[in-house]
Amino acid sequence: MSAADREATADGWVLVYTPRWIRRVAYWVAGVVIAIHLTFGLLLDISYTGVGVGWSDKIGLIAVGFIIAGAVLMLTRSRLRVGPDGVGVRNLVGERVWGWDEVQGLEYPEKGWSAHLLLPYDEHIPVMAVQARDGERAVEAMTRFRELQGEYARTH
* Amino acid 156: pLDDT: 59
75: number of Cβ within 10 Å: 18
pLDDT at residue 34 in the model: 98
Class for the domain spanning 3-19+78-152: mainly beta
Residue 1 is predicted with a pLDDT of 44
Indicate the domain borders of the chain.
3-19+78-152, 24-74
Residue 68 near residue 41 (C-beta atoms within 8 A): no
Consecutive 10-residue averages of pLDDT for the chain (156 residues) = 49 90 96 96 76 85 97 94 94 92 90 89 92 91 93 77
The pTM (predicted TM-score) of the whole model is: 0.78
